[in-house]
């Protein structure tokens, strides 16, 4: 894959500074750099640390949107899903889903079956077609953990599972390859304007040193997810009302032995919301809630009511599980950055559509959307940005040719050089790691799915020092070489970055990685120049993050999630 560089000449402004390094901002920075624009991406914490690591991790058409006749959303979703399966097969993997239907289910089997035909049709029958079982026994033969009582049938279909944080990271890495400047732990704190009131720079603060500076730019693009209203406020933009109506979504992680499923299970909760139980090899993930949220997006966390709601819902579906708060290994909570509707609607009825807005003063912002459609959202945003800069005239691109969006044809870094852009290609990487480097099969599988073609460079670190190929946690396939790789290559700067997003022991390990936090700090510290005080501060900061995800243990289940 060719690499293009568009470094910003000294004293020249950027064409755009993207504010917010979630999947939306990372996708925009990558697309813009690929077109030949001079770009900076600014993220106040780690890339992907906001909503983009707190999703259900599905790249899907969104079956449930059919209920509300949002065909366009499903069409876009299924098409983007097909594209991502080719351009990032290591990160976007098809997995089987089963939608069991019980006597009490509304909609019933016939309606869900029609919905699935529509779903397959909107994907232009590129899906592996769904299968319908009109008999509870056949469904139980597939998934024995399900409730037998009232089970009348089920539907099996295929959708994709991803690693949302890595999807974001690979967009950032590619944006850098294409010439973008990217800054994590750098917060947008204001915008500078010229005499005509146009944005001329984005004021930022380094979160470690506190140093402030201005990134000169022609345009600011705000991709702040649930922080969008806050960033626009910082930028002095008054919309006269809140743009977003964020809703909170919580997931819980339990031992796979507690909910031993081999397919993802789609189900409707008692309050008629669609939810999922998703097998995560050694674990099972159950989610999600959907409740209005009023506080600061920085403080979102699972509370006792959220955890009880999800355990209760799972216990109805899997009667032998008897899940309670003590079974929960980890939680994560995020805010859906939904655009506020004009009239009051139930939380789960608010549309997931996105919208791009342009302001004459030189600010483009995007709100709403999904992980699944990030590439398309990025395209629309950069199209609007280029149109805006073109309309402004004054030879703004100084003779540079700005190309059209070509991200449809470009693989993410882990898939670059992967000859067969499909699951067979990814399996081949795992087989090669196992046969030529002697890596244990489960570890090889994990490395191939997390890093794709980049997995070999992780394993190479272990050839000189075999201890680096050992598991960090005996239950999970993560290895020590990944800690070094996270810092040296994958832009990790804190223990939280490593243990929550690069090697997510914080989401999967019993004790959430606290047992190894000292050893992780020992490996990271010398690479990042930490002194003893900084090492201590880092460990304390990670401990606090873990505490925030287990806050539900300390809060009484007073409020029932609706």
Q: Which is nearer to ligand FAD, 19 or 453 (CB)?
A: 19
Q: Does 24 participate in binding ligand FAD (rule CB under 6 A)?
A: yes
- CA–CA separation, 223 and 41 (whole Å): 10
Peptide bond into 288 cis (omega under 30): yes
| Site residues (CB under 6 A) for ligand FAD, limited to 112-151 | none
Side-by-side strand order, sheet with 220-222? 181-183, 39-42, 16-19, 220-222, 363-368, 354-359
DSSP secondary structure string, 538-562? HHHHHHHHHHHHTGGGTS---SPP-
Lay out the site mask for ligand FAD across 273-312 (x = CB under 6 A, - = otherwise).
---------------x------------------------
Q: Does 61 participate in binding ligand FAD (rule CB under 6 A)?
A: no
Q: Which is nearer to ligand FAD, 29 or 151 (CB)?
A: 29
Torsion of CA 536, 541, 544, 548, to 10 degrees: -170
Q: Does 223 participate in binding ligand FAD (rule CB under 6 A)?
A: yes
Options 47-55, 426-434, 473-481, 488-496: segment touching ligand FAD (CB under 6 A): 47-55
Q: Which is nearer to ligand FAD, 349 or 522 (CB)?
A: 349
SS3 assignment for 340-385: CCCCCCCHHHCCCCEEEEEECCCEEEEEECCCCCHHHHHHHHHHHH
- CA–CA separation, 158 and 98 (whole Å): 9
Q: What are phi and psi of 282, to 5 degrees?
A: -80, -10
Lay out the site mask for ligand FAD across 327-366 (x = CB under 6 A, - = otherwise).
-------xxxx-----------------------------
Q: Does 6 participate in binding ligand FAD (rule CB under 6 A)?
A: no
Options 51-59, 237-245, 535-543, 548-556: segment touching ligand FAD (CB under 6 A): 51-59
Options 1-9, 54-62, 262-270, 405-413: segment touching ligand FAD (CB under 6 A): 54-62
Q: Which is nearer to ligand FAD, 42 or 487 (CB)?
A: 42
Cβ-count burial 496-520 (b if 16+ within 10 Å, e if not) = bbbbbbbbbbbbbbeebbbebbeeb
Q: Which is nearer to ligand FAD, 49 or 78 (CB)?
A: 49
278 three-class SS: strand
Q: Which is nearer to ligand FAD, 45 or 508 (CB)?
A: 45
Q: Which is nearer to ligand FAD, 20 or 504 (CB)?
A: 20
CB-count burial class (<10 Å; 0-12, 13-18, 19+) for 209: exposed
Q: Which of 55, 79, 171, 200 touches ligand FAD by CB under 6 A?
A: 55
Its sign, for the CA torsion 251, 254, 256, 259, is negative
**Measured from the CB of residue 332, what is the shortest distance to ligand FAD in angstroms?**
8
Residues that bind ligand FAD (CB under 6 A): 19-25, 42-45, 49-52, 54-58, 187-188, 223-227, 231, 249, 288, 334-337, 369-372
């Amino acid at each position: 894959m060719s690499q293009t560089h568009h470094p910003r000449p000294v004293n020249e402004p950027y064409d755009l500074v993207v504010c917010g390094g979630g999947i939306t901002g990372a996708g925009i920075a990558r697309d813009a750099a690929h077109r030949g624009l001079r770009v900076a991406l600014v993220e106040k914490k780690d890339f992907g640390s906001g909503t983009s690591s707190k999703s259900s991790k599905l790249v899907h058409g969104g079956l449930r949107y059919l209920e509300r006749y949002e065909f366009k959303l499903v069409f876009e979703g299924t098409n983007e899903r097909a594209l991502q399966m080719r351009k990032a097969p290591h990160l976007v993997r098809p997995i089987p889903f089963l939608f069991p239907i019980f006597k009490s289910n509304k909609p019933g089997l016939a309606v869900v079956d029609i919905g699935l035909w529509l779903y397959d049709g909107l994907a232009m029958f590129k899906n592996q077609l769904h299968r319908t079982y009109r008999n509870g026994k056949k469904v139980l033969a597939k998934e024995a953990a399900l409730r037998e009582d009232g089970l009348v049938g089920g539907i099996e279909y295929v959708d994709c599972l991803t690693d949302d944080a890595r999807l974001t990271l690979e967009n950032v890495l590619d944006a850098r390859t294409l010439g973008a400047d990217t800054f994590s732990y750098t917060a947008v704190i204001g915008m500078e304007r010229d005499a005509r009131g146009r944005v001329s720079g984005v004021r930022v603060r380094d979160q470690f040193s506190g140093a402030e500076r201005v990134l000169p730019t022609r345009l600011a693009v705000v991709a702040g997810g649930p922080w969008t209203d806050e960033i626009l406020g910082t930028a002095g933009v008054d919309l006269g009302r809140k743009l977003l109506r964020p809703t909170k979504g919580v997931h819980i992680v339990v031992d796979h032995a507690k909910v031993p499923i081999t397919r993802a299970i789609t189900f409707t909760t008692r309050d008629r919301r669609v939810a999922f139980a998703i097998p995560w090899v050694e674990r099972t993930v159950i989610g999600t809630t959907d409740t209005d949220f009023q506080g600061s997006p920085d403080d979102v966390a699972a509370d006792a009511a959220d955890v009880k709601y999800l355990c209760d819902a799972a216990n109805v579906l899997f009667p032998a599980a008897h899940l309670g708060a003590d079974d929960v290994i980890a939680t994560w909570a995020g805010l859906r950055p939904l655009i506020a509707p004009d009239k009051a609607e139930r939380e789960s009825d608010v549309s997931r559509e996105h919208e791009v807005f342009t302001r004459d003063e030189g600010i483009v912002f995007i709100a709403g959307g999904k992980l699944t459609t990030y590439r398309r959202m990025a395209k629309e945003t950069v199209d609007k940005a280029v149109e805006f800069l073109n309309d402004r005239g004054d030879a703004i691109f100084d003779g540079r040719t700005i190309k059209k969006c070509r991200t449809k044809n470009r693989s993410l870094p882990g898939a670059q050089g992967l000859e067969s852009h499909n699951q067979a290609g990814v399996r081949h990487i795992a087989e090669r790691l196992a046969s030529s480097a002697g890596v244990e099969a489960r570890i090889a599988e994990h490395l191939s799915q997390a890093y794709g073609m980049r997995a070999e460079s992780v394993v190479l670190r272990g050839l000189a020092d075999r201890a680096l190929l050992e598991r960090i946690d005996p239950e999970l396939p993560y290895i020590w070489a990944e800690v070094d790789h996270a810092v040296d290559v994958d832009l990790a700067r804190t223990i939280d970055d490593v243990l929550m997003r690069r090697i997510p022991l914080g989401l999967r390990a019993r004790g959430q990685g606290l047992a190894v936090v000292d050893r992780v700090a020992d490996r990271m510290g010398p690479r990042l120049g930490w002194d003893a005080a900084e090492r201590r501060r880092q460990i304390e900061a990670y401990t606090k993050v873990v505490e925030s995800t287990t806050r539900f243990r300390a809060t009484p289940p007073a409020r029932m999630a609706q």
